[in-house]
Structures are given as structure tokens and as C-alpha cells.
Structure 1
Amino acid sequence: MTTHDTRDGVWRSGNRVDLLENGEEFFAAVFAAIAAARHEVLLETFILFEDKIGLELHRLLVEAAQRGVRVEVLVDGYGSPEFSPEFLAQLSAAGARLRMFDPHRRLLGMRLHVFRRMHRKLLVVDGTTAFVGGINFSADHVADFGPEAKQDYAVRLQGPVVADIRDFIEVSIASRGVGSDWQPSADATPMQAAGDAQVMLLLRDNTRRSTAIEQEYRRAIRAARREILIANAYFFPGYGFLRDLRNAARRGVAVSLIFQGEPDTQIALTAARSLYRYFIDAGVRIHEYCERPFHGKVALVDDDWCTVGSSNLDPLSLSLNLEANVFIRDEGFVRDLRARLDDLRQHHCKAVDPASVPKRRAWQSLTRPLLFHCLRHFPDWAGWLPAHTPRTRLVSAPVTTRASETP
């Protein structure tokens, strides 16, 4: 097995990668894997709701635990704040463990602690199959939810990189969901090859990996020769990232961006649109997906690099949240992702007309430098936000242990 190291991750050869678009493909694959689990199910997710998707996942986890499968689940205390007593009791009785990352009570009915969330979406079954992406366990990821159903992506992985994902989750369990102590081994135990793709797992945390995902993006953008295609739900990165994209367009790379046109959070569209003139002046093409909320976090560069994961390209994901992306080198997979995104652009998006974007006004010669100054320094400023030692609470545990345990 050939490995190629970066500072924060290791490229693993010999993997199979399958693209899963939207909840219909993702949940079918995930639920089948859990139903067939024989040894363990390790899951981390930002959102788990008690709707039809969450209840089906719950049923499968309970059944797996009842047949002796080790079941470990971590959810975020902001994204998944409440569960019914019945939901938790059934997991406990079956022998499953469910932990909550950084739980807090509501204040006047509002969820607080929006910062420093556990935003990862990771699943490993039996150490042989893993799932990584942006899709949560909630019904708003399937089309029959209605016009607010989300457009999103994930991948199913088999091969040596699965061991990295599994090892990380084990470290995460032992370190209260943070996982900062995890280090990929350059001499990992060989696993049987499952395909031809090279894959690297990268995490973003608030210690030494605070810029790992962003820096891998920027390395690929600076090396681009022909094409950059980014489809991201929340886009407001730092100035260096913006400059790399604009410079790529100016040297002749075809740069195309897909953003939300019908956002679930209006500020996301407002923030992205404030950057349109900056990009359009350099020849960047912009599309807005207007059928329903866009929740994807994917990108490709040329014919042999792409990424799928949980990380948006905004201040929360790049400076505060705990995130996980996989980076993939495989021409066949990149071709598949490009075909899906091309179909999205051609049939489901509205191209932004450069003539419709307001020209730069005189007063913007003063405000734009201020904006980019803020973007340049935001990661440092974000570190000043209130911080604390993250903790997890064991909210569902085997009946022989105490449910109030804090590992």
C-alpha cells in the first residue's frame, strides 16, 4: 500500500469510493450496512432527529446491539439537543451507547452554544465500510419532505482509508469527541485493496489541525491547470482562499461556483453575493441552485482531485466547528461527481448574469478593503470567542452502567 503524507493526513491507495447523492441514496446504503453489521457500528453525526429517518436508524441500531454488535453513537448537543425517554431507554436496554457532545440546556426556549460544534458526519461498520459527507440523520434530506428538502452528497468508502476513519472515531470516543490526539500512521496495518482510488481523511479542530481542510483546498486550487468546480452551501472564506480562486481564473483556469439560491439561512446568500463582483471581474462563473436548499460541501479540481465532507467554506466551518472531509484522487470518481454537478448546473441552477451584479461604486473602494481585512483576520478573531473544555455526556448506556457517566 502506497502512502503519500501531508502534514495532517496520509493518502491511502487501494480504495473504492461510491458517490451518494441526497438522502435517498445515502440512507439506503447506510441502513443496509447497519442491518448487516456483525461486530461494530461507530457513528458521529451533527443532527439526529426523532423523525422517520432518525427512528429507522434507531430501530436498526437497537437491533444491531441486541444481536451483540458494539454500537457507539456521538451526536452534537446543539444539532441534536433532545431525545425522548423511550428513544434512550431502548438503546440502553439493547446495550448501545449514545453520547452527546457539549450538551447545554435551552435558555428561554433557544439553543445556545452555536460555536465550536461537533459538525462531523462519520460512520464505520465492521471496520470495512465507512460513510463520510454532509448528510444528517433527519427527514429533511429526502425529497418527500417537500420544498425544504436539502440537496446534498456523501461517499461510501471501502479499503485502507476506512482504518483511519475507524481509528479516529475510537480516539474521539476516548477524548470527549474532540479527537485532536489522533495521528494517522504512515505505517498502518495493511488492508486489502478494494479499488484504485487514493483517499485522505482530514479533520479540522481547534488545536493543531485548525486549517488542515482549508490548506488542502488551497493547495489544489493553486495547482489547478484546467478546471475548478466548487459547490458549497455556505461560502464566505478568508481572503487568501478568495485570492487563490481569483488568481486561478486569471491564469486561465475555468472556475465555477455553485451556491444556494433558496437558502435555509438568508445570511448565507447575502454573504456569498457580497463576493460576486470580486469573482465576476476575474471571469469566474457563478450559479445559484434555486429548487430547494443546497447543503452540499463538494469540490473538484481538474480530472484527479475532489473532496466530499462536512466542512462548509464559511467562518463557522473554517474557524470553529469540528469537521471531517475526505480528499479523493481517482479519475473515475471525479468524472462521476462532475457529471452530477454538471446536471445540477444545466437543469436545476440559475446562472448569475454578470450584468446583473452591481458594478463597484466609489464608496466600495473603502469598504471592500475593510471586508477583506476582516476575512483575512477572522480565524484569529474567532479564537477570542468564549471557549471551554468540551465534554460529552453519556445519555444512553447499557443498563448495567450509570447513564450520567461522563467518559
Structure 2
Amino acid sequence: MTPLPSPSDRFRLLENGEEYFPRVFDAIARARESVLLETFILFEDEVGHKLHAALVAAARRGVRVALTVDGFGSHDLSPAFIRGLADAGVHFCTFAPRPRLLGVRTHIFRRMHRKLIAVDAEVAFVGGLNFSAQHLYQFGPLAKQDYAVEIRGPFARQVHDFLVRAMPGACPPPPLPEPAAGRGRADPRTHAGAACLVTRDNHRHRNDIEFAYLEAIRAARRDIIIANAYFLPGYRLLHALCEAAARGVRVRLLLQGKPDMPWVARAGGLLYGHLQDAGVQILEYVERPFHGKVAVVDDGWATVGSSNLDPLSLSLNLEANLVIRDAAFVRHLRDQLEALIGTRCRAVPPGLKQPRSRLDALCAALMFHFLRRFPAWAGWLPAHAPRLVQPMPGGRRHARRVVVLRGGAE
């Protein structure tokens, strides 16, 4: 499927795997110098094998190829699959692998949840799609609805430069020059310029994505649409959304109506009454599981990325969102979300999910206090030094060679 082009010539919105995967594979096939890729999930299904073939082909023709997967999300890759990449020259790493305990994956905290790709520092992709057939409509009723953005031109270098820092040894020195003023450079504190890659780690950038949302919500004058898979935001975001609705901003939340994790939807539903009392409109996507992490505010602000608005993404995971200040792209994303709202969503009537018992009321109160305190509590949860681990010669899954990442590229 050929995606409809976004009105912007720098940013192209990609919806679902039918649009995303062909663009990624085409960019890799055209690569001349480097392909850098991070993903939370890589499965050995039809999509994973196509990616494997594309990366192997690029490496064999002399392109520098680096791939990092998360040790929690991509825990079942076979030794043969990994060995095929390594033998072709792909710089393959697993982020923070941990042994299982009685068959259970123990490293749910501090996951590398980013989905980033940079090709030749000229084209990049940022979004929420993993490399899995679950993002294709043909997967069936559990196929996920999701979004990514393709970036071309100088703004793609932000993603490339970040991945160079996040993948030690993948792209050796000399260091890359700073982009010229006005050509893709952005202040991460003010998000000046047409686009800025905003990341979250557990060191110097703990709250950057949350603050980007807060800045946009507090500045909103007319309209906010937040479409997010797992909506259980911190107290500051809840308060900002209610304040925006109180001052006359139309605030709409597009959330899961057919959740793939029902307990998450149940917890988020405890907040519906409070938000609706403040004037926030809540809509649920009912066709299939919603996996998107996008938002638009007024006519000049949008974000597409990997970060959910829940405690894991906002306080624990390593995440990456692109904040875009491009009126044409914002308008296009808004139109796509409006179409989704008009055809595949249902409005949640006020009072439908109000506490029905004293127990529900108690749970709602506890949820508010949990969200207020969770960012501080997150530091007490199990943590480990983030590591990139390479496979050993001979096919063993993980190597003794360990790279410990610190600083902004954690």
C-alpha cells in the first residue's frame, strides 16, 4: 500500500504496518552508509524475517548496520536468527538482558521502549510500531492501530545523532559535526524549530516527554486531541487537562475500547469521572486494540512516538517522541484522528464509569494518590545499569562484552 503523502515535505505520517514497513524496508534498501535501528519488539514472523533480510543485505553491501532490541520485549529471538545478523556484519545488541526466574521475565522495569530508525542521517522514523505482524490488518481482530512519522532532510539528523550516542561502537569516530543553525537544530527545552526529538531516560532526561506535553497543554487555546494506548497519566498531566477544559479548550482523549490489557483499561477508567466532570470528552476506539501514542494541540503542535501516558512510560522506560511544529503535518494528523473519531470510536457518556460501590470509590481515591506519588516512588523500584550485550561467536545468545550507557543516551 502506498501511503497518502502528508502535506508537509519534511514529515510523512504513516498509519499501521501497511504504510510503515514498506517505507522502512525501501529506505534500508537505498542505504549507502549507515542503518541504525532500535526497537522494543522484534518477532521472528513475516515482518521480522523481512527486516532480517533487509539488514543482512545492507550489511553485505558494505553499509554499517546496527540493531538494538529490548531484552524484555524481544526475549525469544533464536540463536540462528541472531547469528545470521552477526555473521553478515550487523552490530546486534540486546538491551539489558536478564535471566528468567521460574520462567518469568523479571526485567519489566527500565525497558528500552523506543522505536527509532536512522538511515544515512538523511531519513529517519519515529513512532510506536514494533517489528511484528501484529501491526498488519491481516493479523485479525487483535491487529494494532498505530502511527509513526517518516522524517526527511536535516531534521532526520537529530535521530541519527541520538542513535550514534545510544549505540557505542556502531558508528565509530570521527564525531559528527553540529548541524548548521536553522537546519534541523532544536532546543530540547523549548522545542524551537520545526521538530525536536524528545527522549526519556533514568538519568538527565527523566521528565522531558511529560514536560513537552505539559507545555503544549498549558498553552492550548482551542483544541487538544490525545490518542494514547495506555492512559494512566501522572497527577500533573491530569491537572493540566482539567485546567485546559475549564478555560474553554476542547479536550478529547482517544483511548482503547478493546484493550489488549483489560486491567490497564480498568485502572484508567477510574479516572474517567474526574476528567468528564472537568469537561474532558472521552472516546474509545472500538475496532481493534489501539496502540498509538500521538497528540495534536491547536494548529501548530503535534507529537508522535513510543511513550504511553502511564507510569511505566513516564517514569521508568526509555522512550522517544518527536515533537513537530509544522502546521501542515499537524493539520494532516488532526484530519486522520478526526476521521478515526467519526467512524471507529464511541463516546463514553458521563457517569458510565463512575464508581459503582464503596470499593470502586476507594480504588479511585487510591489511584489519584498513586499517580501523585509514583514519579518519586519509581526510584525505589528494581533497577539495573542499562547494558547493551552482543552475541558471542558460535551463536550463544549473550556475550560477556557489556557496554554500560550513561548520560543522555541511557
Normalising by structure 1, we get a TM-score of: 0.88
Q: Is 1:201 aligned with 2:182? A: no
Alignment root-mean-square deviation, CA = 2.5
| Structure 1 equivalent of residue 160 of structure 2 | 166
Give the secondary structure class of the aligned counterpart of 2:53: helix
Matches within 5 A, 1:16-165: 16-165=10-159
Aligned-pair CA distance for 1:405: 2.9
Gaps of 5+ in 1: 1-13, 177-183
Residues 4-34 of structure 1: CA distance to partner in whole angstroms, max 9, x if unpaired? xxxxxxxxxx971000000110001001000
* Deviating more after overlay: 381-390 vs 104-113: 104-113
**Distance in 1 separating the partners of 2:235 and 2:224:** 18
Which of 284, 297, 302 is 1:301 aligned to? 297
1:320-366 per-residue CA deviation (whole Å, 9 max, x = no partner) reads: 00000000011111111111111111111111111533378788777
Counterpart of 2:83 in structure 1: which amino acid?
A
Q: What is the aligned partner in structure 1 of residue 311 from structure 2?
A: 315
Q: 1:78 to 1:258 in 2, by over 3 A?
A: same
Q: 1:245 to 1:63 in 2, by over 3 A?
A: same
Structure 2: distance between partners of 1:397 and 1:169: 25
Tell me how far 1:82 sits from its aligned partner. Answer: 2.6
User: How much has 1:43 moved relative to structure 2?
Assistant: 0.3
Distance 1:51 1:339 in 2: 33
Distance in 1 (CA, whole Å) between partners of 2:314 and 2:102 is 29
Identify if the C-alpha distance between structure 1 residues 90 and 366 changes in structure 2 by more than 3 Å, giving closer, same or farther.
closer
Q: Deviation of residue 256 (structure 1)? A: 0.3
Distance 1:210 1:299 in 2: 20
Mapped partners of 2:392, 2:17: distance in 1:
26
* Distance (whole Å) between structure 2 residues aligned to residue 354 and residue 98 of structure 1: 50
Whole-Å separation in 1 of the counterparts to 2:149 and 2:393 = 29
- Once the 2 structures are TM-superposed, how far is the Cα of residue 165 of structure 1 from its aligned partner? 1.2
Pairing of 1:242-391 with structure 2 (within 5 A): 242-358=238-354, 368-391=364-387
Q: Which moved more, 1:51-60 or 1:260-269?
A: 260-269
Tell me, yes or no, if the aligned pair for 1:78 and 1:117 is still in contact at 8 Å. Answer: yes
The CA distance in 2 between the partners of 1:35 and 1:45, in whole Å, is 19
Tell me the distance in 1 between the aligned counterparts of 2:327 and 2:362.
44
Separation in structure 2 between the aligned mates of residue 215 and residue 258 of structure 1, nearest angstrom? 20
Give the corresponding residue for 1:221. 217
> 1-side partners of 2:346 and 2:282: how far apart?
9
Aligned length: 381
Taking the aligned partners of 2:329 and 2:168, their CA distance within structure 1 comes to 34
Contact 1:46–1:75 (CA<8 Å) still a contact in 2?
Answer: yes
Percent identical among aligned pairs is: 54
Deviation, structure 1 residue 232: 0.2
Could you tell me which runs of 5 or more consecutive residues in structure 2 were left unpaired when the two chains were aligned.
Answer: 1-7, 171-175, 185-192, 404-410
Change (3 A) 1:109 1:352: same
Query: Structure 1 residues 275, 128: closer, same or farther in 2, change over 3 A?
Result: same
1:188 aligns with 179
Superposed CA offset, 1:129-167 (max 9, x none): 000000000110001111110000000001222222111
Cα 1:267–1:22 change in 2 (3 A) is same
2:380 aligns to what SS in structure 1?
coil
Contact 2:270 2:363 in 1 (8 A): no
How far apart, CA to CA, are the structure 2 residues paired with 1:78 and 1:89? 19
Question: What is the SS of the residue equivalent to 2:263?
Answer: helix
Amino acid at match of 1:332: A
SS of the equivalent of 2:266 reads helix
- When residues 403 and 300 of structure 1 are mapped into structure 2, their CA distance, relative to the original with a 3 A threshold, is same
Conserved 8 A contact 1:226-1:254: yes
In structure 1, the partner of 2:173 is none
Q: Quick one: structure 1 residues 398 and 309, their matched pair in 2 at CA, closer, same or farther if it must change by over 3 Å?
A: farther
Q: Report if aligned partners of 1:62, 1:96 keep a CA contact under 8 Å in 2.
A: yes
| CA–CA separation in structure 2 for the residues paired with 1:115 and 1:99 | 19
C-alpha spacing 1:79/1:364, structure 2 compared with 1 (3 Å): closer
- The DSSP-based 3-state class of the residue aligned with 2:107 is coil
Distance in 2, Cα, partners of 1:58 & 1:333:
31
- Output the CA distance in 1 between the equivalents of 2:183 and 2:314: 34
Measured in 2, the distance between the counterparts of 1:303 and 1:355 equals 31
- Aligned-pair distance for 1:85? 2.6
The change in CA–CA distance for 1:107 and 1:326 in structure 2 (over 3 A counts) is: same
| Distance apart, 1:173 and its partner CA | 1.1
